[in-house]
Amino acid sequence: MLLVNTIREKFEDAVIGLQKRNFPQAEETLKQVLELDNKRKEAQNERDNLQAESNSISKEIGMLMKSGKKEEAEKAKARTGEIKAQVKTLEEAYNQIEEELKHLLYSIPNIPHDSVPAGKSADDNIVMLENGNIPVLNDDKLPHWELIKKYDIIDFDLGVKITGAGFPVYKGKGARLQRALINFFLDEAVKNGYSEVQPPILVNEDSGYGTGQLPDKEGQMYEATADKLFLIPTAEVPITNLFRDVILQEQDFPIKNAGHTPCFRREAGSWGAHVRGLNRLHQFDKVEIVQISHPDKSYEALEDMSIYVQSLLQKLELPYRVLKLCGGDMGFTSALTYDMEVYSAAQERWLEVSSVSNFETYQANRLKLRYKSEDKKTNLAHTLNGSALALPRIVAAILENNQTAEGIKMPKVLVPYLGFDKI
């Protein structure tokens, strides 16, 4: 969440940034934050002054008793009783203001980086670059949802029988393609300095609040209600929460972790041709990369993460493009996001397969993720994450782009993992 001091010191910049996101009543909301903060400080000062008075009177009572001034000592005791009641009232008021301020801050998204363009939707995103040749297929080309039936490698009907729509069953070479991609992505991450972790796929409320899934995306997550646990929408949540309530040393940076998990998303309200087949699922596999960075190095780290994800797409021989997201299309917690999209030759459209984002201090403030600098001061770290990569649309593009009359050719880099070069 945003730092109150940042809002106070850079009020106009914060308003302009939130307006880029089309955040309603940005100025009024930020003013409300500052008003609540002022009330909180007033309550705290009054409480501290009363506590100081009580401490002073307590010392005075001892001296009065020693001097035999019992009546004056009793009056002083009565005053400490009054102060105690006042302090209790002030503490209740302070806690109420603190809670109200916290929930208001939870409702405010991150302030975009200066380079983020204003805009309302994906139509306003900026294409930064395109790479690779878009394949030209025959007129009898098939979308992946037809190819998987033709070659019997992914079965949506079985998934419906077992669970419901959006939970496919991968079979034979389809299952092996999944496993090959996961192992390839993890191996590449380790080669690039990421430490592999295997986190839980259920998280508690504190973890959800820590990375910003709660309260913003509560309706999009599957919940184990009996235990108040949530199935993760992305490995970003458990991996970043490894560092909740942690104080790092400056020499610890950069911290680079990668992990494979299944991901679960309710995707409420999603329908239509654009979400057909593997384009949008309720359960899918993904390898996530997470970095904890020194604030001075976080945007350098973001560029490195973008280049790294692009290298995976190049090795998979997939045409792709990189977008800088506009304010209206960015995630709630992000300060700057790059999306990577691959071209789906049978669907004849671009499919998002990765987002890499810098959250600056937004998550760290919620997580209480700090570091000690050389001057011994404690500061908030910066957090970043990215998909490297999400499997479903990668699989869709591989199947569609590489289809031939003889079968579907596999990218050369996957053949050692697969044990075959064609489906």
In tens, the pLDDT along 27-50 reads: 999 999 999 999 999 999 999 899
pLDDT at residue 219 in the model: 85
Q: Report yes or no: 87 and 54 within 8 Å, Cβ to Cβ.
A: yes
DSSP alpha helix (H) spans, 289-411: 298-315, 362-367, 391-401
Do you know the residue count of the chain?
423
Whether the pLDDT of residue 68 is over 90: the answer is no
Q: Report yes or no: 341 and 356 within 8 Å, Cβ to Cβ.
A: no
In tens, the pLDDT along 182-197 reads: 999 999 999 999 999 9
Rounded to a whole number, what is the distance in angstroms from the first to the last CA of the chain?
48
pLDDT at residue 271 in the model: 55
pLDDT, mean over the chain: 95
Whether the pLDDT of residue 145 is over 90: the answer is yes
Least confident of 138-152, 159-173, 256-270: 256-270
Whether the pLDDT of residue 105 is over 60: the answer is yes
Q: For the chain, which domains are there?
A: 4-106 (1.10.287.40), 122-418 (3.30.930.10)
Q: Return the exposure string of 68-102: e unless at least 16 CB atoms fall within 10 Å of the residue's CB, then b.
A: eeeeebeebeeebeebeebbeebeebbeebbeebe
pLDDT at residue 218 in the model: 78
Structure tokens at 303: 């560029």
pTM for the full predicted model: 0.92
pLDDT at residue 62 in the model: 77
Residue for token pair 């000062």: 45
Structure tokens at 413: 């880099």
Across residues 233-262, what is the average pLDDT? 98
Across residues 404-422, what is the average pLDDT? 97
